[in-house]
Amino acid sequence: MLPESAELVFFAAFALAFAFVFAPAAAPRRSLLWRGGAGLAGTIAIVAVPTFELVLLTLLTLGVLNAAADGKQPFALRLRAPVLAVAVFALGLVLARAAGPEVLDRFAAVGLVAGLAAGIGLLPYLHPFDPDDAVTGSPIAWMAFIGPALAVVVAGTRGLVPAEAGGVFGAMLIGVGLLNVAWGGVAAWLTESTVAAWRYSFIADWGLALCGFGLMVVDGRRAALLVLFSIVLCRLPLYLASPQSQRARTVTERPVNLVVAAALAGSAPFAGFAARVLLLRGATQLFWPLGLVLALGMLLWLPGSLRLGRSLGVPRGRQALGVALVLALNVAVGLYPLPLLEAARL
Amino acid sequence: MFEAGAALVAWLGMSLIVLADGRRSLALGAALATTGVALVVFQGAGLIDAGALALGGAVMVVRRLTDGPVGWQLMPPGSTPRLVLCIAAGLLALWIAFSVTTGAGAALRFAVMTVVGLGGARVLSSDERSVLLTSVGLLALAIAAMAGMGDASQGAWPYVAAALVAAGAGWLPVRAPNAA
């Protein structure tokens, strides 16, 4: 098991515990525990199994179980993305393992990146989404819970393709990442539904993580790990702490809303800021115009984050405690991320 | 030659699943595809691994015979695109497995690519639960068969896990969408 994978399992377990303790009182705790526990078990299986075939079988099983569970969308529709991901991964793996011309390795890289995007639910393979879906059955929970473990495992399979195709693999990750940064950032700002805005903000964050994985320098991996941290232990808990009902949503502009918006936007001193600095440094080492494009893309977080911060309302009681805990954790990691990175041997 | 024949049986079974909607056709298609994949795996991996796949597939076939739309429903009206898909996918996989790629295991590559490709396409184009779960089960068997392509032996675990997925998928309770 990769050290970063073990860290991600720990993050996921912490997020589940947070959801159980601090989610709004209306949230069904029993369903949260069962389905969250199943998701956590799946995450552990994805990072712990020794072969990529077993990773694919785990992903397939999780996808089928998730599609079969309660939800607004039909089973067939919810099943399509995970099956597509597994099929594309499998075809990529066949090409990666076969001997033949060099172009096969490039197609294998395409299969791995396309499978990753479909498996997480990123552009161009967005999972079907209904704002009224329960949190546990929503693609948001999938991409924040299962997605990080899958991404780390797939990024670790870079060795499956030769070094020449490894460059293609990285370039495609960066391309797909930039697409998600742009689309997610603009959509989180302009979409009508607040729940959909939360979903697009996750997609934008994922874009940064993919860019980090795509950079062939250690700063890129470090940035990706910190972005995943901020997805699992900043954006997800804040999403869970926000009122889940459309009717219950209120727009407030208290200082706490601005602080939450700053955390979501990746401002200093939160963890997202350290991730962005490392990402820009890595991109500049590789190809400086990429750093410029990323810096421009990062500006797209501002309007969407202000909107999401305001949608949180004024947290009270248990929720206020949860929000404070998340913000404190993110400040700590943002100011001193070294222990987290050293634990992942990065 | 034996391996190539087995791979063609797998393609035939998957084509049957793509072309039909009834439980009997799906069961026959699943039986053929499982047999083809298991025979290809038997040549490369051994009896226990192939046996695990065959057992998982057999449980899936039994379940399919008792669940899903009745009868054969082979090539219902509007099936021409499905037929074209089966032939085109078979030819493309044949070309890649035997001509573009080199080295041993061409039959295994062909079997895996046809089962994964056609199974994935069937899931994307169908709404019927029995069709979806049959395709998922066969996809799992094909993924396990890929273990034979690696340089290092992976043991029996992928085959056993795939057999469990294939056998269990048919019994999965699927709730109707909660549109309220």
Any CB–CB contact under 8 A between A13 and chain B?
no
What's the pLDDT at A107? 92
The set of residues, in sequence order, having a beta carbon less than 8 Å from that of A270 and lying 6+ positions away, is: A230, A234, A262, A263, A327, A330, A331, A334
Tokens of A275: 């991730």
Predicted confidence (pLDDT) per residue in A295-304, tens digit: 999 999 999 9
Predicted confidence (pLDDT) per residue in A287-334, tens digit: 899 999 999 999 999 999 999 998 888 888 888 899 999 999 999 999
Pairwise CA distance, residues A60 & B161, whole Å: 11
What mean pLDDT do residues A56-70 have? Answer: 91
- Split at pLDDT 50, 70, 90, the class of A244 is low
* A38 close to A65: Cβ distance less than 8 angstroms: yes
Pick from B146, B149, B157, B160 the residue to mutate for testing the A interface (most A CBs within 10 Å). Answer: B146
Nearest partner of B68 among B170, B166, B163, judged by Cα? B170
| A90·B124 Cβ contact <8 A | no
Question: Euclidean distance between the first and final Cα of chain A, in Å?
Answer: 15
Residue A56: closest C-alpha in chain B: B143
What's the pLDDT at A317? 83
Any CB–CB contact under 8 A between A83 and chain B?
yes
What's the pLDDT at B3? 86
Residue B119: closest C-alpha in chain A: A87
Residue B147: closest C-alpha in chain A: A53
DSSP letters spanning A248-260: T------HHHHHH
Other Cβ atoms less than 10 A from the Cβ of A89: the count is 28
**Nearest CA of chain B to the CA of A2: how many Å?**
19
Predicted confidence (pLDDT) per residue in A100-140, tens digit: 898 998 999 999 999 999 999 998 888 888 877 777 778 88
Contacts of A57 in chain B (CB under 8 A): 140, 143-144, 158, 161-162, 165
Average pLDDT, chain A: 89
pLDDT in tens, chain B (180 residues): 788 899 999 999 999 999 999 999 999 999 999 999 999 999 888 889 999 999 999 999 999 999 888 989 988 898 999 999 999 999 999 999 999 998 888 999 999 999 999 999 999 999 999 999 999 999 999 999 998 887 777 788 999 999 999 999 888 887 666 544
What size, in residues, is chain B?
A: 180
Predicted confidence (pLDDT) per residue in A131-148, tens digit: 777 777 788 888 988 999
Predicted confidence (pLDDT) per residue in A193-210, tens digit: 888 999 999 999 999 999
**Nearest CA of chain B to the CA of A126: how many Å?**
14
* B65 close to B23: Cβ distance less than 8 angstroms: yes
Pairwise CA distance, residues B21 & B24, whole Å: 9
